[in-house]
Structure 1
Amino acid sequence: MLFAVVIIFVLIIFCILDIITPHKYPIGPKRFPLVGSYLEIRKLRQKLGFYHLVWDHLSQQFGQVFSVKLGRIEAVVVTGYDAVRQVLCKDDFDGRPDGFFFRFRAFYKRLGIVFVDGPMWTEQRKFCMQHLRKMGFGSISMEKLINEEVNNLLLDLIRRSDNGNKPIDVNGLFDVSVLNGLWAMLAGQRFGLYDSKLAKLMELTHVSFRMLDMSGGILNQMPFIRFLAPKCSGYRDIKHILHEFYTFLKASVEDHKHRVNDEEDLICAFLKEIEKNKESTKSFSEEQLLVLLLDLFLAGSETTSSTLSFVILHLLRNQSVQDKVHAELDAAVGDREVLLSDKNNLTYLEAVLMEVQRHSNVAPIAIAHRSIRKTSLQEYKIPNDTLILASIWSVHMDKQHWGDPENFRPERFLNETGQIINDSWFIPFGIGRRRCLGEVLAKTNVFMFVAKILQNFELKVPEGVQLPDIHQEGVTVSPSPFSALFIPRRSFPNSDKRF
């Protein structure tokens, strides 16, 4: 009898401790033992469809900074320009989450570059930037790599479009082409547009991004659920996806081992670093290389590909915008090949691309941060090791700043003389020390693909096709499947035409 009383008492104490919050901690929705705020958040997500809309709804109730308990994880959600900038720029929030999912994807360790912090992140970032620059990152040679991929895609569009009479599926259209520019620097290789192995991996990429949210999903919030519901929780599928990716990446690494002295791509450079630092550091290992490649593969393909699909979607919806871009390209470039240096003279096109990124919010929530020490955020006290979710969407859709954020209006980024306005509220790549590593590559990709496609094609909605109004959500937001007509704006006498 006494033992049962003790057990009940312990359980009561556990339940109380599990739901109480520290002094001066942000308030938030109701908490329950073990599951935290999960039930209310799930109900709101089913109603609103997207996590960033859930956070927006809760911010209207609890303020721009509020707390949620995600299973066993303490999290603070941050919305609004001032609070988001503070989180992204303050060193106290430079950590990355360290939950079950983030270790599960990395051989149950803290590896890679996206979800590590401290000296490990500093060392790996420095290594990556040094060797990517050697491979042409941010230089003329990177532009040439991307240009080749764009030209190959244009030739394929000419072949498939049947002179503009045959609709082309836009979803997945840019996957291989975008990845090739990055993979050439990572592995010194490129894939054909219809490479079946890569097509499978890109499909897995899209599936994996749809299965999770920026907090790591239910597997991270309540890891025990993988034993109770391995399929429904996504554990079985994610395990399979990781196996497929690592099988592919391991094969590439093994291939590089046989020619490590003959190549200068990032994989070979890393393998040399492993050999050189075999006894002195744990930062360079084959497992770290594999997770690093996984991080760069996923981050370097999904967001850029989705952004390009959104560009096509917005141009289909806004014919007058497309007409203005055509007119600007004809006046500034004409029939010659578009160059990256033309960007300064194509300010309306640049404004269109910025407006697509602001309006579509491919990454509505910044990659999760973590407080690395006890700190403050506005009037609140934030404990060490608290997960921080910062809403980029709330900044890009702020009505007081933008006036009409729900409208697609590129002119908001142009001044009276037609020059670009560098608005500090425009932060699609984040800000601060953890700003997106691949920003330069992403911007170059988006500009070159869009400029050359619009130089050579007019985009039309196929007859009888309804463009999607509802997008797909997950770690990122992407358009639901749709198709477009790519109508040549000039004659192409043969398929060997170079652009």
Structure 2
Amino acid sequence: MEEIINFEGDEFVKFLHTFQDKPIDFKKYFYWLTSNIISKVALGKRYDFGDPKFHELLEVLSKLFGDVDDAPMIAVINLFPSASRVPPFSMAMKRFDKRQETVLKYLQQYIDEHKVKFDPDNINDFIDAFLYENQFGRKMNTSFTERQLRAYCRDLFVAGSETSSSTLAWCFAFFLNYPEYAKIIEQEVIDVIGTDKPSMAHREHMPMTCAFIQEVMRNKTLAPLSVTHLTSETTELMGFVIPKGIKVIPNLDGAHMDPNTWPNPEVFNPRRHIDENGKFMKSNKIIPFSVGARFCLGKSLAKAEIFIFFTKLVQHFKIKSAKDYLPPLDREMMSIVLSPRECEVVLEAIFYDSFYDN
């Protein structure tokens, strides 16, 4: 995956050179960047930046949970499903369902293509792997249906694009608002990565970079209420009896903002994750991907994307605020996702590698 992430990162850097010294909204283009990773994994295909067909898909995907008018109502429906039958929530739900259908039809085209070209000896992506299991896996398993395949691909795009892109946007919003930490991170990138391609192996020698990213994930929990779970049996928790079959909504943001665990939790302080010896302290109390058997399956991919893309952009550009103002750090809830309002920046190239000419 590191090879794929670095390739997309390099293509993104090339694309960003066309915006040098011009204002650009990172938030918008990060969505494209992370979606291309998912497309490569799920569909076996990537798109050049600016491809109109892919742009149409991303527009629909971004509005599923990010439509300014509908997102708050979808968030309410997520908590209280019966609201979907009452106007204006019912109208928002209809638009949501229509957007889902558009995405599913788009994905069906690729599923049909894969079925025609399917070669059991040449598995290239998620769809191929699913089709292989359908034909050669356990015959009694009825989960491997085409309907399920469409839903899986949709979920990979929605969950894998929005969360990582918003986390990256938050990283750079804090990066610009806290120049004292940005300066240390820039120096770590120079000293540890230099002109090499970023790798997860570099993290061991970059304590501030790792602490900074972990503090962003603590301070801005992307999915504050995670996703709804269902109790499989009656259980007791802290004196409360939770019956079998009850919906449970985990409050991840509550864990990240607990003053008993994190003194002054509203304060952004990456140094709380660095020990007295200057080493990064990975915390199992920061759980943006949730915990347990149902934790986010994209955790490893997302962490690699965020670290590699973040350090690669710091490596290649001097990143400055646009229009003489800093990206806002106030919270904006877009449906179930906590998204930054904007992250408009101006880029100044630091170096231009020969591989860009290949």
Scaled by the length of structure 2, what TM-score is found? 0.91
The one-letter code matched in structure 1 to 2:258 is D
2:50 corresponds to 1:189: no
Shift of 1:382: 1.4
Task: Report which stretch shifted further, 333-342 or 411-420.
Answer: 333-342
Which residue of 156, 163, 166 maps to 2:15?
156
The answer to whether the aligner puts 1:255 opposite 2:113 as a matched pair is: yes
- Is the CA contact (8 Å cut-off) linking 1:214 and 1:368 kept in structure 2? no
TM-score scaled by structure 1?
Answer: 0.66
Q: Kindly report which structure 2 residues correspond to 1:274-353, keeping only aligned pairs within 5 A, or say none.
A: 274-276=134-136, 280-353=140-213
Q: Given residue 342 of structure 2, which amino acid in structure 1 is its aligned partner?
A: P
1: distance between equivalents of 2:133 and 2:209? 42
1:168 lines up with 2:30 in the alignment: no
**8 Å contact 1:215–1:389 — kept in the other structure?**
no
Question: In 1, are the aligned partners of 2:177 and 2:326 still within 8 Å (CA)?
Answer: no
Alpha-carbon displacement from aligned partner over 1:295-314 (angstroms, at most 9, x marks no partner):
11111111001000101111
Q: 2:23 and 2:179 mapped to 1: Cα distance?
A: 17
Deviations 1:77-106 (A, max 9, x none): xxxxxxxxxxxxxxxxxxxxxxxxxxxxxx
Q: Which residue of 1 aligns with 2:283?
A: 423
CA distance in 1, matches of 2:77, 2:235: 21
> Residue 219 of structure 2 contacts residue 257 of structure 2 at CA under 8 Å; is this kept in 1?
yes
Following superposition, the deviation at residue 471 of structure 1 comes to 3.4
Residue equivalent to 2:297 = 437
Output one character per residue of 1:377-403: Cα deviation in whole Å (capped at 9) or x when no partner.
211111221111111111111122211
Seen in structure 2, the aligned counterparts of structure 1 residues 279 and 424 have a Cα distance that, compared at 3 Å, is: closer
* Offset at residue 222 of structure 1 (A): 3.4
Q: Please give the residue correspondences for 1:369-448 in structure 2 after superposition, counting only pairs within 5 Å.
A: 369-448=229-308
Partner of 2:349: 488
Given the superposition, is the C-alpha separation of residues 335 and 222 from structure 1 closer, same or farther in structure 2, using an over 3 Å criterion?
Answer: closer
Over 3 Å counting, the alpha-carbon distance change for 1:495 and 1:266 in structure 2 is closer
- Contact conserved, 1:366 with 1:389, CA < 8 A, in 2? yes
1:221 aligned to 2:82?
Answer: yes
| Matches of 2:262 and 2:76, distance apart in 1 | 26
Shift of 1:497: 5.3
The residue that corresponds to 2:5 in the other structure is 146
Per the TM alignment, residue 370 of structure 1 is displaced from its structure 2 partner at its CA by 1.3
Indicate the residue corresponding to 2:315 in structure 1: 455
Q: How many angstroms does 1:231 deviate by?
A: 6.8
1:180 Cα offset (Å): 2.0
Aligned-partner Cα distance in 1 for 2:357–2:192: 21
CA-to-aligned-CA distance 1:155-187 (integer Å, 9 cap, x gap):
1111212xxx21111122112221222322222
Q: Deviation per CA, 1:199-218: give whole Å up to 9, x if none.
A: 22223222221422286255
Distance 1:493 1:328, change over 3 A: closer
- Aligned-residue Cα RMSD (Å) equals 2.2
Q: Structure 1 stretches of 5 or more lacking a match? A: 1-141
Matched letter for residue 414 of structure 1? I
Find the residue that maps to 1:429 and give its secondary structure. Answer: coil
Note if contact 1:176-1:191 (Cα within 8 Å) is conserved in structure 2. no
Secondary structure in 2 aligned to 1:282?
coil
1:401-457 CA-to-partner distances (Å, cap 9, x unmatched) read 211211111111110111121223211111111111011100100010011111121
Distance 1:255 1:430, change over 3 A: same
Report the secondary structure of 1:428's partner residue: coil
State whether residues 183 and 190 of structure 1, in contact with CA within 8 Å, keep that contact through their aligned partners in structure 2.
Answer: yes
Q: How far apart in 1 are the matches of 2:130 and 2:63?
A: 29
Asked if 1:234 corresponds to 2:78, the answer is no
Aligned counterpart, 1:109: none
With over 3 angstroms needed to count, the CA separation of the structure-2 counterparts of 1:223 and 1:326, relative to structure 1, is: closer
After superposition, the Cα gap between the structure-2 partners of 1:351 and 1:493, relative to the gap in structure 1 and judged at 3 Å, is closer
Match of 1:475 among 336, 339, 352: 336
Cα drift, residue 284 of structure 1: 1.1
Q: Is the 8 A contact 2:25 2:343 kept in 1?
A: yes
Contact 2:176 2:326 in 1 (8 A): no
Secondary structure of residue in 2 paired with 1:487: strand
User: How big is each residue's C-alpha offset from its partner over 1:97-156, in whole Å with a ceiling of 9 and x where there is no partner?
Assistant: xxxxxxxxxxxxxxxxxxxxxxxxxxxxxxxxxxxxxxxxxxxxx111110000011111
8 Å Cα contact 2:169-2:343 kept in structure 1 = no
Percent identity among equivalent residues?
A: 26
CA contact (8 A) 1:155 1:495 kept: no
**Map of 1:200 onto structure 2:** 56
CA–CA distance in 1 between the matches of 2:83 and 2:273?
43
Whether the 8 Å contact between 2:83 and 2:90 is mirrored in structure 1 is: no
- Structure 1 residue 193: deviation in Å? 1.4
Distance 1:231 1:201, change over 3 A: farther
Aligned equivalents of 2:299, 2:139: Cα separation in 1:
34
Instruction: String of CA shifts for 1:220-242, please: whole Å, max 9, x gaps.
Output: 233433xxx37754122012101
Count of residues in Structure 1 that have an aligned counterpart in Structure 2: 349
1-side partners of 2:12 and 2:53: how far apart? Answer: 18
Secondary structure in 2 matching 1:453:
helix
Gaps of 5+ in 2: none
Q: Structure 1 residue 180 and structure 2 residue 41: aligned? A: no
SS at match of 1:406: coil
For the structure 1 residues 416 and 234, does the alpha-carbon distance in structure 2 shift closer, same or farther, using more than 3 Å as the test?
same
Q: Is the 8 A contact 1:370 1:386 kept in 2?
A: yes
d(CA) in 2 for partners of 1:157, 1:297: 23
Structure 1 distance, partners of 2:117, 2:48, is 22
Letter in 2 for 1:236: K
CA contact (8 A) 2:173 2:329 kept: no
Contact 1:230 1:236 in 2 (8 A): no
| 3-state SS, counterpart of residue 172 of structure 1 | helix
